[in-house]
Structure 1
Amino acid sequence: MPELPEVEVVRRGLAQWVRGRTITKVEVLDERSIRRHVLGAEDLRGNLEGARVVDAVRRGKFLWLPLQEDGQNNANDGGAPHLALMVHLGMSGQLLIEDAEAPDEKHLKVRLTLSPGTDTGGNVAPAELRFVDQRIFGGMFLADLVPTADGHPGGLAETPLPLVPVEASHIARDPLDPAFSFDAFYQRLRARKTGIKRALLDQGLISGIGNIYADEALWAAKLHFARPTDTLRRKDALALVDECRDVMNRALDAGGTSFDSLYVNVNGASGYFARSLNAYGREGEPCPRCAALGLDTRIRRDSFMNRSSYTCPVCQRRPRNGRW
């Protein structure tokens, strides 16, 4: 499942190639990929054709394109968009920018034809935005935009709109969001009576962190995933959030984490951060930090929430009062 860095890589590509362009034609090739748009393909097409993409916005793992609707009454609402096209990548969803002449991908589900445009560097932009999804867990749907509760922008974007889709309004801000409040996060964290990794995966508490980056940040902060949240000191929580930011920024620099060909950016390229992982997926391999000290400590894997957690038994001591 793509996590924050992977979705942010896609968002940046959309901002570069799609922002400011008008959707001129919509083709739904598989209605299973728009199943969350309950009014169906014709309604989706009617709302999208003629709409201009204002920006590409991300909060946590949520991604949306605010739309300047055709014929919108700018005098009454100041031109603020009312609708957004939300995109859920799921396990294998891909948003690809392609020339119209490019062959259709095997698992192409939705094609959006765009008005002529250029990227931020003045290069001629490809004509189509394609949604490709092999496993069909992702999809596209329209969502109403509402004002954010705190008055800050809805998420990370080039255009600071204080709007968020209704479906994403319950999602907490992520560590890379300028409006993220550590104090609010820490207060809510201490009120929980659960393990720290379970809290990190709670998108209503802090968003964008999934299994991979939780394990990596906990390894970097030398915290075991079962450490009770109500025992976490402020400095430890602050260090953990800093490590979350660091690991996700490094993943962004590497284009995200790809374990197979399913996750790619808008140009079809895979990320290579998997080569830099210290804990996740490295069961039985040496802990890099211990190895630097001359110790032969092996990363262990534990079952966790129907998934796996990877830790160093020396660096990340299991707490006696741990909560899984």
Structure 2
Amino acid sequence: MPELPEVEVVRRGVERWVVGRRIESVQVLDPRSVRRHEAGPVSFADELDGAVVADAVRRGKFLWLPLTGTDGAPPREALLVHLGMSGQLLVKDAELPGEKHLKVRLGLSERPGTPAELRFVDQRIFGGMLLDRLVPTDDGAPGGRSATGAPLVPVRAAHIGRDPLDPAFDEGLFHDRLRRRRTGLKRALLDQSLVSGIGNIYADEALWQARLHWARPTDTLRRPETLRVLAAAREVMDRALAAGGTSFDSLYVNVNGESGYFARSLSAYGRASLPCPRCAEAGRSTLIVREQFMNRSSYRCPACQRTPRNARF
């Protein structure tokens, strides 16, 4: 499933190729991909037709495109996109054949040297698109990472916490809320209402870098430890961004259809029975272990990330 770095790579591509262009045609090829738009696919197409994409904004794994009309009035609604497990936003030339799992096709106004279509492709159909009303942010800060920094957020994304790469992210508030959760650390990091954008892959990588066990009770964390795991999450995701994200198969690509290469730099996730890189540098031969966690897997080094006595599994 795409996580924050992957969605940010897509956002930057949309910002470069789509922002400022008018939507001149809308084709909904599979109504299931707009099922969250309560008024239905015909209304979805009618409302989008003629709108201008004013910005590309991301908070956590949520991506939205604020829309203006031909009158240039401030955006009041946005095209909200959730990639789910296999969703892709692709910028393509109109004459190219449609992808096997193409769900929505948006024709864009002409811009020299720029592909004319924005396509939503989704193999597993867990993602989708909808039009949603924009509301002011609770704190008056920008809704998320964007070019304009407008303090607006779609109604359906307003409950999502800010992510560690957001300049408005409040570390002190996060630490206080984290300690009140009284749960395991990784479970808290995956709670998108507490902190957004950290999924299974980057949680394991951040915890490995911070030398903290995934079952560490949150109410025992000292502020320096909280700051350490936040710093680790930022550093890991910044490196993933530089590599274009993490791709394990063809389901994650950027808007040009290219895969990310951060999987080659992972230190813990997916490395069961392989040496811990940090231990190897120190001359130890500790192997990464895979453990069950919330119907998925967690990876850690038994030497660097020792199990706490009061672990919350």
TM-score with structure 2 setting the length: 0.99
2-side partners of 1:117 and 1:219: how far apart?
A: 45
* Aligned-partner residue type, residue 65 of structure 2: L
Report what 1:182 is aligned to. Answer: 171
Query: Which stretch of the first structure deviates more once superposed, 33-42 or 257-266?
Result: 33-42
Q: Does 1:104 align with 2:94?
A: no
1-side partners of 2:111 and 2:164: how far apart?
A: 33
Aligned counterpart for 2:126 among listed residues 131, 137, 140: 137
2-side partners of 1:221 and 1:300: how far apart?
A: 17
Aligned counterpart for 2:304 among listed residues 315, 318, 323: 315
Deviation by residue 1:90-148 (Cα, 9 ceiling, x = unmatched): 11111000001111111111000000125xxxxx2100000111111111111110000
Tell me if the contact between 1:47 and 1:69 (Cα under 8 Å) persists in the aligned partners.
no
Report what 2:89 is aligned to. Answer: 95
In the TM superposition, residue 40 of structure 1 has moved relative to its aligned partner by 1.1
Report what 2:26 is aligned to. Answer: 26
* Aligned-partner residue type, residue 85 of structure 1: L
SS at match of 1:218: helix
Alignment of 1:184-199 (within 5 A): 184-199=173-188
Deviation by residue 1:244-296 (Cα, 9 ceiling, x = unmatched): 00000000000000000010000000000000000001000000000011111
* Aligned-partner residue type, residue 111 of structure 2: G
Alignment of 1:10-21 (within 5 A): 10-21=10-21
Q: Does 1:239 align with 2:233?
A: no
Aligned counterpart for 2:262 among listed residues 266, 273, 278: 273
In the TM superposition, residue 210 of structure 1 has moved relative to its aligned partner by 0.3
Q: Does 1:203 align with 2:197?
A: no
Report what 1:86 is aligned to. Answer: 80
1-side partners of 2:38 and 2:266: how far apart?
A: 40
2-side partners of 1:256 and 1:172: how far apart?
A: 21
Deviation by residue 1:56-98 (Cα, 9 ceiling, x = unmatched): 0000000000000345xx6xxxx32111001111111110000
2-side partners of 1:80 and 1:45: how far apart?
A: 21
SS at match of 2:305: coil
Deviation by residue 1:181-228 (Cα, 9 ceiling, x = unmatched): 101101111111101101100111111000000000000000000111
Report what 1:163 is aligned to. Answer: 152
* Aligned-partner residue type, residue 69 of structure 1: G
2-side partners of 1:220 and 1:229: how far apart?
A: 17
Instruction: Name the count of aligned residue pairs.
Output: 313
Tell me if the contact between 1:196 and 1:226 (Cα under 8 Å) persists in the aligned partners.
yes
SS at match of 1:261: coil
* Aligned-partner residue type, residue 49 of structure 2: E
2-side partners of 1:204 and 1:69: how far apart?
A: 32
2-side partners of 1:85 and 1:47: how far apart?
A: 10
* Aligned-partner residue type, residue 321 of structure 1: N
Q: Which runs of 4+ in 1 moved over 3 A?
A: none
Aligned counterpart for 2:117 among listed residues 128, 131, 153: 128
Alignment of 1:277-296 (within 5 A): 277-296=266-285
Aligned counterpart for 1:301 among listed residues 275, 280, 290: 290
2-side partners of 1:202 and 1:195: how far apart?
A: 11
* Aligned-partner residue type, residue 107 of structure 1: H
* Aligned-partner residue type, residue 224 of structure 1: H
Alignment of 1:211-230 (within 5 A): 211-230=200-219
The percent of aligned pairs where both chains have the same amino acid is: 68
Q: CA RMSD in A?
A: 0.9
SS at match of 2:165: coil
Report what 2:8 is aligned to. Answer: 8
Report what 2:109 is aligned to. Answer: 115
Alignment of 1:20-59 (within 5 A): 20-59=20-59
Report what 1:64 is aligned to. Answer: 64
TM-score with structure 1 setting the length: 0.95
* Aligned-partner residue type, residue 108 of structure 1: L
